[in-house]
Amino acid sequence: MELDELKYQLNSKLSVHSNKSDNDIRLLLRLKAKSFADKLKRSLYFEWISSIIFTLIFSGFSIFTANNKLKIYFGVFAVVMAIFIFILKYLIKKTSQLNEGKFPVKTNLVKLVSIIEEYKKRAFQFTMLLLPVCFLFSFWLGYNDSQPTIISSDKALITSLKSRPNTMILSAGYFGLLAIVVYYFAKWYLKKLFGNYLDQLRSCLSELKDD
């Protein structure tokens, strides 16, 4: 049979339900939202607040410590965290728009996909950015730790490295291996977190392309 011939019966079948009272609905309004956008927003808020706290702590260390190496170390991390305060705030603003109920299904899907892709991209960038920063600092500042000033010891560092090729090769190998492991782990983890869901959303979007 055709869909139109069964329209009334199907509509009745779909409408089968047990009525909820005003009080039932009032109780539902007290519960926590479980949608992906809400979970993502809560996670973004947590990361945003953490970024603010750590920026303040790192800035405090950088300003008040007498040790020049620690000043640079915490100063750089404060700047990195500060950049993420703005990126996370931007993502929170974009995610909040999804709760306003003003978008049609297609626009809502486009926005949700773009938010998740942006989040994945930034999380990956953050992870990969921390790697050379941490390595460089542990190497450079670690070496300089025993020197009175950083600048005066830079030449000594280069000379020292040139005279120890094995150390350089070992360090480069360690860094390379760590970078590969972190790269694939970050890719795998972000795919595990969002991959299937993102595929579902993309599949819905592909259906909405103009015929």
Partner 1 sequence: MQDESAFIPLLNKHQGILHKVCNLYMDTPADREDLFQEITLQAWKAYANFKAQSKFSTWLYRVALNTAITFFRKEKRKVPVYATDVLPEIQTDTYDPLEDQVQAMYKAIGDLSSIDKAIVMLYLDDYNYNDIGEIIGITANNVAVKMNRIKVRLKDKSQKHFENA
Applying CB under 8 A, which residues contact partner 1? Answer: 1-4, 6-7, 9-17, 19-22, 25-26, 28-29, 31, 33-37, 39, 98-109, 112, 197, 201, 203-204, 207-208, 210-211
CB 201 within 8 A of CB 107: no
CB of 6 to partner 1, least distance (A): 5
Report the residue number, 22 or 162, with the smaller CB distance to partner 1.
Answer: 22
CB 198 within 8 A of CB 117: yes
Q: Could you write out the DSSP letters of every residue in 108-119?
A: HHHHHHHHHHHH
- Tokens describing residue 67: 């040790």
**What does the alpha-carbon distance between residue 141 and residue 73 come to, in Å, rounded to a whole number?**
8
Report the residue number, 108 or 147, with the smaller CB distance to partner 1.
Answer: 108
Contacts (Cβ under 8 Å, ≥6 apart) of 115: 37, 40, 91, 94, 95, 98
Report the residue number, 115 or 186, with the smaller CB distance to partner 1.
Answer: 115
Report the residue number, 26 or 164, with the smaller CB distance to partner 1.
Answer: 26
Report the residue number, 69 or 111, with the smaller CB distance to partner 1.
Answer: 111
Report the residue number, 145 or 199, with the smaller CB distance to partner 1.
Answer: 199
CB 103 within 8 A of CB 208: no
CB of 95 to partner 1, least distance (A): 12
* Class of residue 44 by CB neighbours under 10 A (exposed 0-12, middle 13-18, buried 19+): buried
**What does the alpha-carbon distance between residue 57 and residue 36 come to, in Å, rounded to a whole number?**
31
CB of 32 to partner 1, least distance (A): 8
CB of 127 to partner 1, least distance (A): 24
CB of 13 to partner 1, least distance (A): 6
CB of 9 to partner 1, least distance (A): 4
Distances (CA, A) of 34 to 37, 111, 119: 8, 18, 19
Distances (CA, A) of 124 to 6, 127, 180, 184: 51, 5, 13, 10
